[in-house]
Amino acid sequence: MQIMKPRELSDEECIALLTSVRYGRLGLSREDQPYVVPMSFVYHEGKIYLHSRGMGRKVQYAAKNPRVCFQVDHLEKGKWTSVNAFGRAELSDDIEAKQRMFDAFTKKGLGGHGGKSFQRQDLERMDMTIWEIAIDELTGREGVW
């Protein structure tokens, strides 16, 4: 049995995986306490867009330490591929941020919640925090098990 050493992915291969999957894991840290949470997302024009409601734990963590890691992976028939995107999260609840996020989801063909599209007045009423993660570093690997 031949063992394959994991292979480093190029930036283009990392972006291809970020573009092709819908869910990942957001990693945060505050006062030496890690926190990881699964989230749906979209990658668009060099940024990762997420959204959450209210002021929960992840928003509290990011307010204290905006440095985050977002991880995605794909497993298929004994082959795995994984990407980590390191960056800084900018959080906002303004209408422009909501519009950018929903536009990114729509351009990817995902629409809004449940595939719906929203008008500006709908977005203004939504209680949500928009996460825009500007990526500073991408790393990726693939291998078999």
Q: pLDDT (tens digit, 9 = 90+) per residue, 82-118?
A: 999 999 999 998 888 888 887 887 777 665 555 556 5
Question: Residue 83's closest CA among 143, 17, 12, 6?
Answer: 17
Residue partners of 49: CB distance under 8 A and separation at least 6: 41, 42, 43, 100, 101, 104, 105, 130, 131, 132, 133
The reported pLDDT for the residue numbered 19 is 94
Q: pLDDT (tens digit, 9 = 90+) per residue, 22-59?
A: 999 999 999 999 999 999 999 999 999 998 887 789 99
Asked whether the beta carbons of 140 and 53 are under 8 A apart, the reply is no
Length of the chain (residues): 145
pTM metric for this prediction: 0.86
